[in-house]
């Protein structure tokens, strides 16, 4: 039960981050927002690494010569590149989606769960029939979520397409993480990942966006939330929560991030803020539910026999 509660809190924090990203992105550019949030995320994880070292008594010290291994540097750098690309696409997508931005972004991003095994085909990993069925169901949900039936396919705009590319980028990110995780300390690699993403975003921020202190000040709260809570705190909670929760249960709970993302935008920006464009229509809610159902079904599916051996 303890692990489930911690993971539910993690999903809630990540879901609310979509609202923070949309609000913060309205004051500063995409690269400025990402650079500041990831610098903060890396900063938060430094004391976390030191605390974990002390608790686990693993004989490692972060600032010693052997505090970070070569594999952790490489893994963190590659993950950081993937994270930078994915979050840039996600942030730009949020800024270009005209209606229901937080809800659409949250559910389209969740499609990475379905895309991950497809990328595995390149690595000669078999994709079960059940997964292909889930993808078909998700495509139906995607169109219901994104299409205005009065204007047809033309209602799928740049924002939705960028977010779909974001889901693809997060899928690559997952594969890179899965390769390096057994070989490294996860928190150390994540700290390097955030630092890499921040360093990559910074020059684009300074060249193309030229942030001012006034703009950073107006976006301070969203940046603090995305950097401190969504990046640093939530990642740590995920590590702790998954120690006590079963993998299948953890998957279901973490998928609620999309639901919290849609609810957060609707309540905070729609109901409280009065921005009716953030409220999903009935067909969009149906599409979001179908996408979530497809993600949950594929995540919980357990292959048997030959199918299991072939994955």
Q: What's the pLDDT at 309?
A: 44
Q: What's the pLDDT at 232?
A: 81
What is the rounded average pLDDT of the residues 33-59?
88
Q: How many other CB atoms are there within 10 angstroms of residue 125's CB atom?
A: 14
Question: Does 311 have pLDDT greater than 50?
Answer: no
Buried b / exposed e across 90-100, counting CB within 10 Å, b at 16+?
Answer: bbbbbbebebb
Q: Is 15 within 8 Å of 261 (Cβ atoms)?
A: yes
Q: SS in 3 state form for the chain? A: CHHHHHHHHHHHHHHHHHHHHHHHHCCCCHHHHHHHHHHHHHHHHHHHHHHHHHHHCCCCCCCCCCCCCHHHHHHHHHHHHHHHHHHHHHHHHHHHCCCCHHHHHHHHHCCHHHHHHHHHCCCCCCCCHHHHHHHHHHHHHHHHHHCECCCEHHHCCHHHHHHHHHHHHHHHHHHHHHHHHHHCCHHHHHHHHHHHHHHHHHHHHHHHHCCCHHHHHHCHHHHHHHHHHHHHHHHHHHHHHHHHCCHHHHHHHHHHHHHHHHHHHHHHHHHHCCCHHHCCCHHHHHHHHHHHHHHHHHHHCCCCHHHHHHC
Tens of pLDDT, residue by residue over 274-303, are 888 888 888 889 998 999 888 888 777 666
> Which residues sit opposite 152 in a β-bridge?
148
Tens of pLDDT, residue by residue over 133-179, are 888 888 898 988 888 766 666 678 899 999 999 999 999 998 898 88
Which tokens in the block code for residue 56? 């686990």
Q: Where are the domains of the chain?
A: 2-303
Question: Does 306 have pLDDT greater than 50?
Answer: no
Residue found by looking up tokens 């299409």 in the block: 147
The phi, psi pair for 129, rounded to 5°, reads -55, -40
Question: Does 307 have pLDDT greater than 50?
Answer: no
Tens of pLDDT, residue by residue over 228-281, are 998 888 877 887 787 777 766 777 787 788 899 999 998 999 888 888 888 888
What is the length of the chain? 311
What is the rounded average pLDDT of the residues 33-40?
95
What is the rounded average pLDDT of the residues 68-76?
93
Which is higher by pLDDT, 49 or 93?
93
- For residue 310, what pLDDT band results from cuts at 50, 70 and 90? very low
The phi, psi pair for 27, rounded to 5°, reads -105, -35
Tens of pLDDT, residue by residue over 77-115, are 999 999 999 999 999 999 999 888 899 999 999 998 888
The CA-based angle 267-242-221, given to 5 degrees, is 35
What is the rounded average pLDDT of the residues 16-38?
94
């Amino acid at each position: 039960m303890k692990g489930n509660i911690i993971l539910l809190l993690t999903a809630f924090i990540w879901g609310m981050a979509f609202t923070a990203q949309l609000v913060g992105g309205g004051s500063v550019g995409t690269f400025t927002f990402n650079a500041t949030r990831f610098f903060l995320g890396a900063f938060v994880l430094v004391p976390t690494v030191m605390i974990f070292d002390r608790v686990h008594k693993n004989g490692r010290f972060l600032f010693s010569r052997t505090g970070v291994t070569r594999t952790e540097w490489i893994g963190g750098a590659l993950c950081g590149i993937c994270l930078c690309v994915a979050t840039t696409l996600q942030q730009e997508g949020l800024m270009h989606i005209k209606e229901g931005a937080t809800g659409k972004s949250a559910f389209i991003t969740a499609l990475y769960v379905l895309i991950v095994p497809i990328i595995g085909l390149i690595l000669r990993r078999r994709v079960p029939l059940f997964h292909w069925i889930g993808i078909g169901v998700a495509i139906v949900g995607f169109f219901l979520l994104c299409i205005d039936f009065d204007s047809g396919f033309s209602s799928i705009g740049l924002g939705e397409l960028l977010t779909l590319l974001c889901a693809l980028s997060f899928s690559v990110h997952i594969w890179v993480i899965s390769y390096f995780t057994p070989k490294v300390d996860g928190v150390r690699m994540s700290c390097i990942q955030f630092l890499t993403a921040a360093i990559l975003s910074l020059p684009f921020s300074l060249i193309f966006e030229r942030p001012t202190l006034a703009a950073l000040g107006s976006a301070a709260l969203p940046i603090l939330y995305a950097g401190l809570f969504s990046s640093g705190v939530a990642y740590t909670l995920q590590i702790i929560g998954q120690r006590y929760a079963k993998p299948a249960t953890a998957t279901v709970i973490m998928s609620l991030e999309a639901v919290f993302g849609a609810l957060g935008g609707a309540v905070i920006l729609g109901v409280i803020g009065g921005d009716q464009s953030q409220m999903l229509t009935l067909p969009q809610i149906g599409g979001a539910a179908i996408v979530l159902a497809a993600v949950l079904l594929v995540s919980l599916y357990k292959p048997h026999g030959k199918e299991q051996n072939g994955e």
